[in-house]
């Protein structure tokens, strides 16, 4: 009765929450399995950001509910954003649920599972669905355990929860609550523990990381709390690379730009959501910056780190988006030359201001705009990767590729790279000479210092090294 499978939908934050729940359950004597058919307990950690994500999880729950009717001992729970967003209304559709847990109660899951299992053994009353969707002060500090079963070369670290912005399309402030930061010391301790267990790269997670701690932690030497945190993590021995996601253009100040000059471990890759290239649309989205301001940040970052890679989030088909607005987004796309982008078709989220705005955009138009940007992205990404052919990149070896005999890793610019290697190199930084590229992947061979002198010389001349 104690094999648990957690299926995760949505963003890195959800992945991180699932991992922390898994680690807490393991500490409680549960075993984590990676196939739902091996499990006595299935927990779905859900996403609400677009309707499709909710529909997927609801479909899955319906399917698992059938299994529950055949196997009465089987336990089924929903956690996370959709639980928070839809609340007990979900029980009308999914009456077979044993557990419904919101985004501030992940740490309570082991207790609840114990309780459900005890009741099955006749040690307590058979409970109705256990529901906990409450807010809890300090819940941001409970996402800290990691599963250390395999060496995790690259790890996520949650530094804060929630969001205080009011983007008119977005459900996240409702599902995740207001912004709450973890203390610097606790985050640094977690990173030190990760480093001791073999982690070499950390990605700091938050809805708006650059507003980290701004109410709780004072500015020091003109440095924001987030930059103070980055500086502390730079000092952690064993950590070779630092990344973060996502910053917001508002509050992307010179101290953070300078961090890319001063902190050697901070990788030259920034995911900076822009959402639209039209000031008119940005205004209706309640994104309080202009395209011009966004471009200034990009320019400042390229000045700090010439090889900088940029990625972004874009929504096409926001209510009232005209062809001219969309063309402005295309122009911005070309101007920045985004190396990577997540392009979303606007999805109506009930209860958000944009849901009731006039001029909702037809599905076909969203689809066409989406395809157009995807093609653009592919072209830009391939062109960028072509510039890497023949060069030498620093790659952190993360493990075996999913298929075949090659190993996989990432460059500092977050490009995925495949190459022949060895198990003993997992967790190490190696140099790889890039021989072939696709829009999404670099292929190459490792080079040893001094062997490929011509290439080493080229590497020396590359600004990103
Ligand atoms: N905290 C992040 C955003 C979190 S949501 C930030 O820095 O802005 C992740 C992305 O989902 C958003 O950037 C947005 O592009 C997309 N998104 C959010 N709500 C959406 C909706 N209703 N329809 C389509 N895409 C949406
Ligand atoms: Fe959502 Fe905007 Fe916050 S996209 S998460 S409300 S910054």
Q: What is the pLDDT of residues 315-345, one digit of tens each?
A: 999 999 999 999 999 999 999 999 999 999 9
CB of 170 sitting under 6 A from ligand 2:
yes
pLDDT at 456 over 50: no
Q: pLDDT tens-digit profile of 19-40?
A: 999 999 999 999 999 999 999 9
Residue 457 has pLDDT above 50, yes or no: no
pLDDT at position 317, please?
Answer: 98
Distance 166 CA to ligand 2 centre (A): 7
Residue closest via CA to ligand 2's atom 7 equals: 165
Task: Answer whether residue 115 shows pLDDT above 80.
Answer: yes
- What is the Cα Rg of the chain in Å? 23
Starting at the edge strand that comes first in sequence, how are the strands of the sheet with 31-32 ordered?
A: 31-32, 3-8, 41-46, 75-80, 99-101, 130-132
| Predicted local confidence at residue 453, as pLDDT | 45
Q: Is 251 in the pocket of ligand 2 (CB under 6 A)?
A: no
Alpha carbon distance 446, 110 (integer Å): 45
Biggest CA-to-CA distance, the chain:
74
Q: Is the CB of 129 under 6 A from ligand 1?
A: no
pTM (predicted TM-score) = 0.94
* pLDDT score of 454: 52
The answer to whether 261 and 235 are in contact (CB under 8 A) is: no
Work out the average pLDDT over 292-301: 98
Whether the per-residue pLDDT at 445 is higher than 90: the answer is yes
Distance between Cα 431 and ligand 1 center (Å): 35
Paired with 340 in beta bridges are 311
Residue range 273-285: mean pLDDT, rounded: 98
Is the pLDDT at 455 greater than 90? The verdict is no
Per-residue pLDDT at 120: 82
Cross-strand bridge partners of residue 42: 5, 76
Mean pLDDT of 194-202: 96
Q: CB neighbours (10 Å) of residue 56? A: 18
Q: What is the pLDDT of residue 45?
A: 98
Q: At 4, phi and psi to the nearest 5?
A: -115, 135
Q: What is the mean pLDDT of residues 387-400?
A: 97
Say which ligand is closest to the CA of 315: 1
Measured CA to CA, the distance from residue 273 to residue 165 in angstroms comes to 14
pLDDT reported for residue 324? 98
Give me the pLDDT at residue 359, please.
Answer: 96
Q: How far apart (Å, rounded) are the C-alpha atoms in residues 274 and 248?
A: 8
> In the structure, what pLDDT confidence band is assigned to residue 448 with cuts at 50, 70 and 90?
confident
Query: What distances in angstroms separate CA 99 from CA 12, 42, 158, 166, 238, one per listed residue?
Result: 23, 10, 24, 30, 40
Closest ligand 1 atom, CA of 247?
Answer: 7
Comparing 117-121, 125-129, 193-197, 380-384, the range with the smallest average pLDDT is: 125-129
Q: What pLDDT was estimated at residue 461? A: 52
Report whether residue 238 contacts ligand 2, using a CB cutoff of 6 Å: no
- Least distant ligand from the CA of 245: 1
Q: How far is CA 262 from CA 272, 301, 313, 406, in A?
A: 20, 12, 27, 34
- Whether 465 shows a pLDDT value over 60: the answer reads no
- Between strands 3-8 and 41-46, the pairing is parallel
> Is residue 72 very low, low, confident or very high in pLDDT (cuts 50, 70, 90)?
confident
Measured distance CA(238)–CA(228) in Å, rounded: 19
Instruction: Give the phi and the psi of residue 203 in degrees, each rounded to 5.
Output: -115, 115
Q: What is the mean pLDDT of residues 143-154?
A: 84
Residue with tokens 């990404």: 381
**Of the residues 172, 275, 313, which should be mutated to test ligand 2's pocket, given the most ligand atoms within 8 Å of the CB?**
172
158 pLDDT more than 70: yes
pLDDT in tens, 429-443: 999 999 999 999 999
Mean pLDDT taken over the chain: 94
Which domains does the chain carry? 3-132 (3.40.50.12160), 139-386 (3.80.30.20), 392-461 (2.40.50.140)
Taking the CA of residue 273 as reference, the ligand 2 atom at the shortest distance is 4
Cα gap 10→13, rounded to integer Å: 8
Write the residue with the smallest CA distance to atom 13 of ligand 1: 313
Burial of 148-178, coded b for 16+ CB within 10 Å and e otherwise, reads beeebbbbbbbbbbbbebebbbbbbbebbbe
């Amino acid at each position: 009765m104690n094999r648990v499978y957690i299926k995760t939908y949505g963003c890195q934050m959800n992945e991180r929450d699932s991992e922390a729940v898994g680690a807490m359950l393991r500490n409680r004597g549960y075993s984590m399995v990676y196939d739902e058919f091996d499990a006595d307990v299935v927990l779905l950690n859900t996403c609400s950001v677009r309707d499709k994500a909710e529909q997927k999880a609801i479909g899955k729950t319906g399917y698992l509910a059938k299994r529950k009717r055949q196997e009465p001992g089987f336990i089924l729970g929903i956690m996370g954003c959709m639980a928070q967003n839809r609340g007990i209304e979900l029980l009308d559709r999914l009456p077979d649920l044993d557990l419904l847990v919101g985004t501030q109660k992940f740490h309570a899951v082991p207790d609840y599972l114990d309780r459900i299992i005890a009741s099955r053994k006749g040690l307590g009353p058979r409970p109705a669905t256990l529901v906990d969707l409450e807010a809890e002060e300090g819940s941001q500090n409970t996402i800290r355990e990691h599963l250390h079963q395999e060496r995790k070369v690259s790890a996520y670290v949650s530094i804060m929860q929630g969001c205080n912005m009011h983007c008119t399309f977005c459900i996240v402030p409702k599902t995740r609550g207001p912004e709450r930061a973890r203390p610097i010391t606790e985050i640094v301790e977690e990173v030190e523990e990760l480093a001791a267990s073999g982690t070499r790269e950390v990605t700091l997670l938050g809805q708006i990381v650059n507003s980290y701690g701004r109410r709780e932690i004072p500015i020091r030497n003109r440095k924001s709390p987030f930059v103070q945190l980055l500086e502390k993590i730079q000092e952690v021995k064993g950590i070779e690379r630092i990344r973060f996601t996502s910053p917001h253009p508002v509050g992307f100040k010179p101290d953070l730009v300078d961090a890319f000059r001063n902190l050697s471990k901070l990788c030259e890759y920034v995911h900076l959501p822009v959402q639209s290239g039209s000031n008119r649309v940005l205004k209706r989205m309640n994104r309080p910056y202009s395209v011009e301001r966004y471009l200034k940040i990009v320019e400042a970052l390229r000045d700090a780190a010439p090889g900088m890679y940029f990625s972004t989030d874009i929504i096409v088909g926001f209510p009232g988006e005209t062809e001219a607005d969309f063309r402005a987004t295309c122009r911005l796309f070309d101007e920045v030359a985004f190396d990577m982008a997540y392009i979303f078709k606007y999805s109506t989220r009930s209860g958000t201001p944009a849901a009731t705005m006039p001029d909702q955009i037809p599905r076909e138009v969203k689809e066409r705009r989406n395809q157009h940007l995807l093609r653009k992205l592919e072209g830009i990404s391939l062109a960028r990767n072509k510039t890497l052919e023949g060069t030498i990149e620093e790659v952190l070896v993360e493990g075996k590729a999913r298929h075949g005999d090659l190993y996989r890793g990432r460059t500092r610019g977050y490009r995925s790279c495949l190459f022949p290697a060895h198990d003993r190199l997992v967790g190490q930084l190696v140099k790889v000479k890039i021989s072939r590229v696709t829009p999404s992947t670099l292929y190459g061979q490792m080079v040893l210092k001094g062997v490929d002198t011509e290439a080493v010389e080229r590497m020396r001349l590359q600004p990103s090294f």
